[in-house]
Amino acid sequence: MRARSTGRKTAKGATRALAIALVLAVAACGRGQGPADAGQGADPAAQSQTAAPDFASPTLAAVKRRGRLNCGVHEGLVGFAYTDNRGEWRGFDADFCRALAAAVLGNANAVRFVPLTSSQRFEGLRSGRVDVLWRSTSWTLTREAREGVRFAGVNYYDGQGFLVRRSLDLATAAELNGARVCVQRASTTELNVADWFRARALEYTPVVAANEEAARAAYAREDCDALSADISALAAARTTMSNPEQHAILPDVISKEPLGPAVRRGDEAWTSIVRWTLNALILAEELGVTRDNVDQMADDSPSPVVRRLLGVEGDVGPMLGLRKDWAKAAIEAEGNYGEIFSRNVGTDSSLDLARGLNAQWNARPAGLIYALPIR
C-alpha cells in the first residue's frame, strides 16, 4: 500500500515539474517577442479598436487667430445677401454667416462679408480667401468632385423656374416653344434649361449673360421672353422691377436646387462645425427655442434635448472645439431657422415666399427641413 502511494506522489511530482517547465518556456518565448508579435493571441475585438483621430481644424484655428470669419456671399440678391442703405449686409445667407461667427467666436459681428460672382465663388474657397461660402449655391455631385469643396448641409430647398411678362399670357413653361430665354453663363441654370427643352423636343434661343445681374438686366430690356433662375432668385428679381405686378413666375419647377454652405475639401472638422451650427438653428425651431426666449429656456427647460443644445448639459460644444454655449450664442444672435427665414424671405419680407419644402419635417403640411440629432 505504501509503495503504491509513493509511486502516485512521484507521478504527480513529475506532472507538476513538466507543467512548470512549460510555463517557463512560454514566458521565455514571450520575453523575446517584438511589437509585431505582441498582439498575437489577444482578443480580436480589442485588436480591432483604434483611437479616433484628433478633432482639429486648421480653418477654425485660422478664424480664431484672426478674430474674424470670412464669409463668401452673393454680390447682391434681395432676401439672401445684399447691402441696405447704410451699407450693412442683410439677408438669409448673411444671417447664417453671422450665426456661424457667433457660434465660433462668440460675436455675430465678427464677419467680413466677401461678395463673389458665380465664377469666383469656388476659387474663393480653394484659395482661402473665404472660410465658408454661403451664396445660394446648389449642392451637386460635380461641384464636390471637381471644385475641391464639400457641402455642409442644405438651408434652402429651391428649384429652377421661369419669370415671364404677364402680357405674353402664358400658363405653363411648355408654351415657351421658340422663346428667347435669358440664363447665366457656366451655371446649373444654363444646363438645366438646355436639358429641359431637349427632353421635351422644344426649341428655344438661349440669351447667355455673364452673371445673374446681367441676365436680369437683359430681361428688363426685353432682350428675352423669359428669365430662368432659381425660383427664390426670380422672386427677388421681380421685387427690383419698376412694375413687379406685370411679371409672373410660371408654376413649372424644372430642377431640384438644394442650396447650402460649402467649405474647402480637406478640413473635415470645419465641415462638421458649419454643419452642426446649421443643424442647431434648425433644431431650435423644432424645439421652440427663439432669440427672445433662449435665456429662459436655458434656465428653466426640463428637456434634456434643449439643455444639451444650449450647453447646460453635456459637452457637445467642446467636442467641436467650441464653447459649451456655442449653439445658444448663435440663436441669441440671429434666432432659429424659422425666424431667419421669416424676416428675410418669408411672410415678414418683401419676397413673401411660402415655407413649402422649407417647412419643418413635422409641420402641416410637412417640409424637408430636418435637424440631425445633437447628442
pLDDT in tens, 72-114: 999 999 999 999 999 999 999 999 999 999 999 999 999 999 9
The model's confidence at residue 44, banded by pLDDT at 50, 70 and 90, is low
| Residue 326 and residue 320 in contact, taking contact as beta carbons nearer than 8 Å | yes
**By percentage, how much of the chain surpasses pLDDT 70?**
87
Q: Do domains 58-157+259-358 and 160-255 have the same CATH topology?
A: yes
284 closest CA partner among 338, 325, 329: 338
Greatest Cα-to-Cα distance within the chain, rounded to the nearest angstrom:
125
| Residue 259 and residue 154 in contact, taking contact as beta carbons nearer than 8 Å | yes
Domain boundaries, the chain: 58-157+259-358, 160-255
| Averaged pLDDT, 123-128 | 97
d(C-alpha 205, C-alpha 240), whole Å: 25
User: End-to-end distance of the chain based on CA atoms, in angstroms?
Assistant: 75
Residue 2 pLDDT greater than 80, yes or no: no
Structurally, at CATH architecture level, domain 58-157+259-358 sits in 3-Layer(aba) Sandwich (3.40)
72 closest CA partner among 117, 150, 130, 151: 130
CATH class of 160-255: alpha beta
The model's confidence at residue 21, banded by pLDDT at 50, 70 and 90, is very low
The string of pLDDT tens digits covering residues 256-285 is: 999 999 999 999 999 999 999 999 999 999
> Looking at 111-188, which runs of residues are DSSP E strands?
111-116, 132-133, 149-151, 156-158, 160-165, 179-184
Helix (H) or strand (E) holding 234: helix 231-239
Helix (H) or strand (E) holding 212: helix 212-220
